[in-house]
Amino acid sequence: MGHMINQLKDLFSPESIAIIGVSATSNVFGGSSFLKRLQEVEFPGRLYPVNPKAVEIQGLRAYPDLTSLPETPDLAIVCISARFVPDLLLECVKTGLKNIHILSSGFKEMGTPEGIELEERIAEIARQNGLSIVGPNCMGLYCPASKLTAWGGIPGVSGTVGIISQSGGITQRLTEYLSSLAVGVSKAVSVGNATVLDVVDYLELFGDDPSIDVIAIYLEDIHNGRKLLERVQAINSVKPIIILKGGSSDAGARTIASHTGAMGGNEQIWNAFFRQTGVVRVQAVDEWADAIIALNLLPPPDGDGVFLAGGGGGVMTISSDICHIEGLTVPQLSEQTMLALQEVIPGTGSIAGNPLDSFEIFYNPSHLCQVANIITKDPSVSMFVVDRLISRKAFHLPDLPDQTDEIIERLQSVNKSLPTIITVDTDGGDALLGQEGIDMRRRFHHASIPAYPSSARAIRALRHYSHYHKKRIID
């Protein structure tokens, strides 16, 4: 597997790319749009459009075939009709080209004898000649560090998240989602029909990759369940794996069959898989992203006790209830902690305890720092949730300068000893409030402090984060 791992590494950092099947006259989805996006992000390597009827495409010299290229490219992106792909692969073999992404569809997913035969031919050629083939029927490779970002979040943000997905659309959404919140991706791959390289191969690569700290997977089905189980168990003990499983409903399972030509599998078997491996299972893209952010940015906790701090008794009550529903504790504080809090919490309009109701937290960074220094010493508290407020008329806040940078500076030191997350309640239809909330969340993420648009999403993310680390310790 060592040789294969090295070859897979090269997939994500090509210095030269041949795009086969680029239209000379239109910018339709496929070779033309991939080439245009790579040019837009200023891909630093060499790009070779291949079209036997063109001399120049999008300002670049075009070539009639692979044998006419001035070099053997590191990667080929294949965008031609399915029936021509096997012969193209034989041409790759002649030129020594090993790494191939087949964007084209029209294979096993069609459910036709012709499509199945074509895919079997692809697999046979790859096996006989040691080709690394991504796909077919997929969006392929994504790596912001090497500017291999013809799709996904463009140009993307480089970071430490690895994404393996059996859906290009899901990968697209997640990379855009994370990039918009300043959370970076190391590598992502849309595997499509996974004829040659499957989820387990990429999982092996990402597990050994020092640039990846968290692995996110979208699964519909798997060819080798036992191998997946073994790899997931081994890697999840070192790096968190977060899986969004598609096809749990009858309708979802039917969709899978026409998506990648796979079968969704028995839900009871998948439930057993999740229990046995201890990986984090999520049900939707926003939950997936929220869990990724928490597990990517926070140090491990030493327990499941949550301290909630904000302003407004009702808000704090609801947050406490959500913690209970999600299986997290909101512990009673020690007598020493309570006495210390009572000394700094205003006597009127506030409640010292857990949760803490103190409106001064919203506009006085020094007060927040006092509270943080007190609760870090309480042995029952393992996680800190701080509610932030965007100043607006409804809350009668004084006209204060933006204090986010000062709060970040103070909370960064706290976060090292007590995992800290922020809630910025911006759910709703107020566009200005929503944009300010996103900007604030991005700034906290730059400082490695997770921030969420509601307490429900924040606490749900904490539950995944806490349960992963608890399971890891037990195992």
pTM: 0.93
CA distance 340 to 336: 6
Burial, 191: exposed, middle or buried (Cβ in 10 Å; 0-12, 13-18, 19+)? buried
3-class SS of residue 468: helix
3-class SS of residue 197: coil
Provide the pairing of β-strand 185-190 with 140-142: antiparallel
pLDDT in single tens digits along all 475 residues of the chain: 455 667 777 899 999 999 999 998 887 899 999 999 999 999 999 999 999 999 999 999 999 999 999 999 999 999 999 999 999 999 999 999 999 999 999 999 999 999 999 999 999 999 999 999 999 999 999 999 999 999 999 999 999 999 999 999 999 999 999 999 999 999 999 999 999 999 999 999 999 999 999 999 999 988 788 899 999 999 999 999 999 999 765 554 444 444 444 445 678 888 899 999 999 999 999 999 999 999 999 999 999 999 999 988 888 999 999 999 999 999 999 999 999 999 999 776 678 899 999 988 888 899 999 999 999 999 999 999 999 988 776 667 667 778 899 999 999 989 988 999 999 988 888 888 899 999 999 999 999 999 999 999 999 999 999 999 998 766 6
146: Cβ contacts below 8 Å, ≥ 6 apart: 12, 13, 14, 44
Domains present along the chain, CATH in parentheses: 2-134 (3.40.50.720), 140-297 (3.40.50.261), 306-474 (3.40.50.261)
Q: How far is CA 262 from CA 111, 178, 240, 257, 269, in A?
A: 10, 28, 26, 5, 16
By C-alpha distance, which of 303, 321, 309 is closest to 469?
303
CA distance 92 to 71: 12
For tokens 């897979």, the residue is 8
CA distance 425 to 315: 10
